[in-house]
């Protein structure tokens, strides 16, 4: 079934759901019910929230309506007729009053239930073959926190039961992989209302995971010709006016704070600070390109309703870098970044991705000539690297075109991580120049780029991709040594010391518990290796190895185990 047909199916199912709610809850006020990417929803204003039992009753009523095979009938009515028809429906009346004069007003009727709707719909309700109501959530009318809180019922529908079952299985798997649950189960991070929503607290193992990613990030950047910089968390308000953030990004920035009577803002971006570093002295064309990288923590206001674990937060650390180059260097630097992106993603186990080239939006800064030149450079870079890509017409930033790389995880879901953005706006605003071969001053171009996106978001994607079972080199605890009895504890610690000396992260579980219990706990904690030591291992100088994924692997000498772990950590 084509996407358009699937949308019609789901929109029709949402209509039937509203009909069922009206039958069961006559006092409900009906809002809107669109088809969305994986299903549909409908918003209702009801005296008390829907319960799981209510959802089951609504589903049963929907099945009765579907079995009636009632036709969907489209009717065009006058504005006055619409206002009279929906006089007891305040949300429908608001929508009707926003319809421009002269534009048709249409309703759809089936089985005596009439809904304000543009359609289209199915021929009749009997064409709905497989649906499922999934959940209930609170939702402000039109997403505005000043409006009433409504009850939103989410559901989905498919042409066949087989397709629905496949989707529901995928949902179950997604729930099992949910990084919020894994973060709690593996003791990695937490978010506290006392401190504020969207602000992440990293626990010891989570902080260690961050360190592993960030150390690798820094080493790779130094090896790839970047220099590291560090910048403040706040700056005078004037800086954000110069950069254009007050004009174009104010709704995502926090309110100013007064310091010595001067307004300061907490930073939403790192780039203005990099501009200031550039301006500390005269730069020559011989210095370009300059590549400055920073793991800079930034703060952006997000509505509480859209915050979601590590994926949508208010404070996050950007995998940030800015390349300042000549116009002639734009193509080669873009290709260099593309290669760097692919190398980094592969190291973390992401081989499947989708590339997008985003072009000039409706509102933009700079001349058409410069936009065309920059877009051509990005397009040529992608072509020369042999990458397939889709063009997102009008999807560029206001300051320049961009390349986005969306990775696909183990469930085939796309995640936005890597981006390469051309910017001719900030170099102009900050009046940065370089001295060319002609001894004249010229304006450089800046490339904003991120390889992983933000540390928070990337950790969430990693956890969900691997279902918490991270590769050996990223696991906060790589092995746990399990002594069978008290007489083996000393040997267990000596084994752990030998592995630590070789650079591995190892713990010893010497609690007075049965070995089977310890193994199960280690499995739940997603520890890659359990090293069991008893009389035989102690006498032979070996360990009995149990793999998280492969089970028992037999006994091996400690020196041999160390070599095996080194090869696995290196990706061999």
Whether residue 448 lies in the annotated active site: yes
Angle at 376 between CA 375 and CA 382, to 5 degrees: 90
- Catalytic (active site) residue 121: no
User: CA-CA distance, 148 to 395, in Å (whole number)?
Assistant: 33
Nearest to 562 by CA among 496, 493, 492: 496
Residue 406 in tokens: 């969306």
Residue appearing with tokens 């186990």? 349
Place of tokens 């120049």: 433
Give the number of other CB atoms < 10 A from CB of residue 285. 16
- Judged on CB neighbours under 10 Å (0-12, 13-18, 19+), 102 is exposed
Catalytic residue among 19, 221, 322, 546: 322
Query: Which of 522, 506, 508, 509 is closest to 561 using CA atoms?
Result: 506
What is the C-alpha separation between 410 and 399, in angstroms, rounded? 34
Q: Of 300, 314, 379, 465, which is the active-site residue?
A: 300
Verify whether residue 437 is a known catalytic residue: no
Q: Is 413 a catalytic residue?
A: no
Only one residue has tokens 């450089």, namely 444
Tell me, yes or no, if 417 is annotated catalytic. Answer: no
Residue for token pair 């969900």: 464
Q: Which of 336, 402, 488, 518 is catalytic?
A: 402
State how far the Cα of 97 lies from the Cα of 308, in Å rounded to an integer. 34
Q: Which of 10, 15, 152, 448 is catalytic?
A: 448
Q: Note the helical H segments in 27-139.
A: 52-67, 79-85, 90-98
* C-alpha count within 13 angstroms, C-beta hemisphere, residue 473: 16
Q: Nearest to residue 337, comparing CAs of 348, 325, 352?
A: 325
Q: Exactly one of 117, 271, 325, 417 is catalytic; which is it?
A: 271
Q: Which position among 179, 267, 318, 546 bears the catalytic label?
A: 318
Q: β-pairing, 290-299 with 227-228?
A: parallel
Q: Which residues are catalytic?
A: 271, 300, 318, 320, 322, 402, 448
């Amino acid at each position: 079934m084509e996407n358009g047909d699937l949308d019609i199916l789901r929109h029709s199912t949402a209509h039937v759901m509203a009909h069922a709610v009206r039958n069961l809850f006559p006092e409900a006020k009906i809002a809107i019910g669109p088809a969305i990417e994986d299903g549909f929803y409908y918003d209702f204003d009801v005296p008390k929230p829907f319960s799981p039992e209510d959802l089951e009753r609504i589903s049963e009523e929907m099945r009765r309506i579907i079995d009636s095979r009632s036709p969907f009938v489209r009717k065009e009515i006058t504005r006055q007729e619409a206002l009279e028809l929906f006089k007891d429906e305040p949300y429908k009346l608001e929508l009707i009053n926003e319809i421009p004069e002269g534009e048709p007003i249409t309703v759809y009727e089936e089985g005596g239930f009439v809904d304000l709707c543009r359609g289209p719909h199915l021929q009749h309700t009997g064409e709905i073959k497989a649906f499922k109501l999934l959940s209930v959530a609170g939702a402000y009318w039109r997403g505005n926190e000043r409006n009433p809180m409504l009850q939103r019922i989410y559901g989905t529908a498919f042409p066949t039961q087989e397709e629905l079952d496949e989707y529901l299985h995928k949902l179950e798997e997604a729930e099992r992989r949910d990084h919020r649950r894994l973060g709690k189960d593996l003791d990695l991070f937490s978010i506290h209302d006392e401190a504020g929503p969207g602000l992440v607290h990293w626990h010891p193992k989570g902080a260690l995971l961050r360190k592993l990613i960030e150390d690798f990030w820094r080493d790779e950047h130094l090896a790839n010709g970047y220099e590291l910089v560090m910048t403040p968390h706040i700056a005078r308000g004037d800086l954000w006016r110069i950069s254009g953030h007050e004009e174009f990004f104010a709704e995502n920035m926090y309110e100013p704070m007064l310091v010595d009577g001067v307004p300061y803002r907490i930073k939403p971006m790192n780039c203005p600070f990099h501009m200031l570093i550039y301006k500390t002295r005269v730069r020559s064309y011989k210095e370009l390109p300059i590549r400055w990288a920073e793991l800079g923590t930034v703060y952006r206001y997000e509505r509480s309703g859209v915050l979601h674990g590590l994926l949508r937060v208010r404070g996050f650390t950007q995998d940030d870098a800015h390349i300042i180059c000549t116009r002639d260097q734009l193509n080669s630097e873009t290709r260099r970044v593309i290669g760097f992106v692919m190398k980094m993603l592969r190291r973390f186990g992401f081989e499947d991705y989708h590339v997008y080239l985003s072009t000039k939006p409706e509102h933009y800064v700079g001349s058409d000539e410069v936009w065309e030149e920059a877009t051509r450079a990005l397009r040529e870079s992608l072509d020369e690297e042999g990458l397939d890509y889709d063009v997102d017409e009008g999807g560029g930033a206001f300051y320049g075109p961009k390349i986005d790389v969306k990775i696909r995880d183990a469930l085939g879901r796309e995640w936005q991580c890597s981006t390469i953005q051309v910017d001719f706006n900030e170099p102009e605003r900050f009046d940065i120049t370089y001295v060319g071969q002609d001894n004249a001053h010229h304006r450089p171009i800046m490339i904003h780029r991120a390889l992983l996106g933000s540390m928070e978001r990337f950790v969430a994607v990693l956890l969900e991709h691997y279902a918490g079972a991270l590769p050996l080199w990223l696991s906060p605890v790589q092995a746990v040594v399990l002594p069978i009895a008290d007489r083996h504890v000393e040997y267990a610690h000596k084994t752990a010391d030998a592995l630590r000396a070789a650079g591995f992260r190892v713990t010893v579980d010497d609690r007075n518990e049965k070995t089977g219990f310890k193994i199960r706990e280690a499995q739940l904690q997603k520890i890659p290796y359990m090293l069991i030591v008893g009389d035989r291992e102690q006498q032979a100088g070996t360990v009995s190895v149990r793999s998280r994924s492969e089970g028992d692997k037999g006994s091996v000498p400690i020196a041999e185990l160390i070599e095996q772990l080194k090869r696995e950590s290196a990706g061999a």
